[in-house]
Structure 1
């Protein structure tokens, strides 16, 4: 077992703008922009926004809009969606939105796409303006259509080419002659990622030759199987010459294990409440500490959060190292739900320090 994460593994951030009791979604969204500025200074690689709808505790309902604000407020970060739930949106609209972001922030925009609705069935129907089931059976066709709207890799200026950590393979695709063009996406290449928590998404990313982001933070027990499927079935493409994957993980890092564990209690409490069919705001650490879980809830919560990163610096270093060695991930994307903004920034700072990412990333980008 290695004692520290590989220096080749990047650290990134996934944010859901969690909403706390006594606060508002507006406060959370403004704190998201503040957090992005902080992790940009700390040397994190990318900053993605999730898509959730009609969920009281999560305020990232418009990832494209929020990504624009984050990109404008930062200097180095790659910014994008983690992701756009593509069945909720016409691929043309997603291409136009992220093509616009790429025009304004060249070389810094990503687009992760998923097939889940990111909400309940009633809200999914409202988003899609249809009465049928909220399925994702046409997701592969949607992804292919989305890809067709963007310029091929390297077709525009060097600033707008591939990620830099994601090598492209030749030959470049020839854009189809389309009656409908996504302006200005047709002038910019935006890396498209497939997001998922199952073998289905892993297979799709592999056959299309796209980078894959696995949601370890809410489906940790399928991580190894999905990544193995992705790597085994991967087919080189004009977008990617070899497999590239990241895993997302919940983390709360404090000065000692006791406080790090305390910072995880709101996540445990809100998960148990969601199992009861409730839709609460995030409770404080103090309130969460007094929340009693049933035996069944405890089993579910422990299975989920036992695979995450909560603790002091040494525990965090060890857990990240284990995650990287076990999964072989090229990148680790960290999700946090910490009420106090300064304490949340401190968590990301400690994680960057113990993994050695701050000097490596800042030096590489200077």
Structure 2
């Protein structure tokens, strides 16, 4: 089983969009050397605390800054975009970085209703057209069809398609299409097992995928001690505790610790922390084993929403020490920048 990274592109207090992107590139290079398999970017709009409005652009930048890492969307919020435009973008990315691009799509907007209308250039409706748009998107990849609009870059450059979801509807769609599935475990951990089981039970093999393949994202914060992990989680927990009154930018642990919380807020913080796999190496090891044993995913994708880049790098290092043998490139490979796209990934996890 492989381990990967979901980067939220959070803008931290004391930083800005540019520093967020610099940290993103540093993190991607670091986790590649540690042996992580994928690096995915999210999509958010009109959200001051997120610098992830254009994941396709960020994917190209991360792919150019790395050599082996698979880079993808976690995900493209398809209702915001024309399927034709997405096919053009991701076919182009796959042509530029063959064998290294993932196309994950979701049905949410990742935006408020007004912003969503502006993105797509049409009023929102209650009609759910996600399944039709996924089929339209998939149709642009591969051989041209008679009378259909052609996406030249996508015809021979086909990134793997993933369906992202948080309900049984997404599980059913991914199973029917015979594509890879990501369930939003970090949002709805109590629903993960049922959705994953449904996907596996209903899966129909396709030309793209012979057997079901599941990845689940999980918040993971690893530190030297349990106490330090809880301290580092403070900024994220503060956002949950304050809800609509949360700071626009991710606060520092010191700011989060100094805030005066009422009893209800502290309960929300405790509940949110319990959903994370967080603590020392021993605590994180136990948490990951428990999750894997319960769900049996094919892959895990971890997100680590910490304020400081050094703390994030260290957290991913500690998890790698538990699960991944460090990836070593020979001097010959380093000189050539070889990507070994046709060979299996050497990482052995958990």
> Structure 1 length normalisation: TM-score?
0.86
Aligned to 1:16: 8
Q: Deviations over 1:76-95 (max 9, x none)?
A: 11111000000000001001
Q: Deviations over 1:196-224 (max 9, x none)?
A: 11111111111111100111112212111
Aligned to 2:107: 115
**Shift of residue 365, structure 1, vs aligned partner:** 4.3
Aligned to 1:104: 96
Work out which of the residue numbers 164, 185, 188 in structure 1 matches 2:157.
188
Aligned to 2:203: 234
Work out which of the residue numbers 17, 39, 45 in structure 2 matches 1:25.
17
SS of the aligned residue for 2:158 comes to: coil
Aligned to 1:137: 128
Aligned to 1:261: 230
Q: Deviations over 1:273-317 (max 9, x none)?
A: 3x2355621110011113344444444443343121111111111
TM-aligned CA distance change 1:183 to 1:303, over 3 Å: farther
Distance across 2 between alignment mates of 1:136 and 1:246: 28
Structure 2 segments unaligned to the other structure (5+ residues): 331-342
**Shift of residue 227, structure 1, vs aligned partner:** 0.7
Distance across 2 between alignment mates of 1:329 and 1:323: 9
Deviates more, 1:296-305 or 1:94-103: 296-305
Aligned to 2:76: 84
SS of the aligned residue for 1:80 comes to: strand
Deviates more, 1:264-273 or 1:138-147: 264-273
Aligned to 2:256: 288
Work out whether 1:147 is the aligned partner of 2:138.
yes
Aligned to 2:191: 222
Runs of 4+ in 1 over 2 A off after TM superposition: 174-179, 275-279, 290-305, 356-366
**Shift of residue 179, structure 1, vs aligned partner:** 2.7
Distance across 1 between alignment mates of 2:185 and 2:4: 14
**Shift of residue 20, structure 1, vs aligned partner:** 1.1
Structure 2 contact 179–209 (Cα < 8 Å) conserved: yes
Distance across 1 between alignment mates of 2:200 and 2:3: 21
Distance across 2 between alignment mates of 1:188 and 1:364: 19
SS of the aligned residue for 1:347 comes to: helix
Work out whether 1:252 is the aligned partner of 2:221.
yes
Distance across 1 between alignment mates of 2:201 and 2:329: 30
Aligned to 1:162: none
Work out which of the residue numbers 285, 309, 322 in structure 1 matches 2:277.
309
Deviates more, 1:210-219 or 1:175-184: 175-184
Structure 1 contact 218–304 (Cα < 8 Å) conserved: no
**Shift of residue 272, structure 1, vs aligned partner:** 2.3
**Shift of residue 260, structure 1, vs aligned partner:** 1.2
Work out which of the residue numbers 345, 352, 355 in structure 1 matches 2:313.
345
**Shift of residue 360, structure 1, vs aligned partner:** 10
TM-aligned CA distance change 1:360 to 1:322, over 3 Å: farther
SS of the aligned residue for 1:276 comes to: helix
Work out which of the residue numbers 14, 39, 64 in structure 1 matches 2:31.
39
Distance across 2 between alignment mates of 1:184 and 1:138: 25
Name the count of aligned residue pairs: 334
TM-aligned CA distance change 1:18 to 1:209, over 3 Å: same
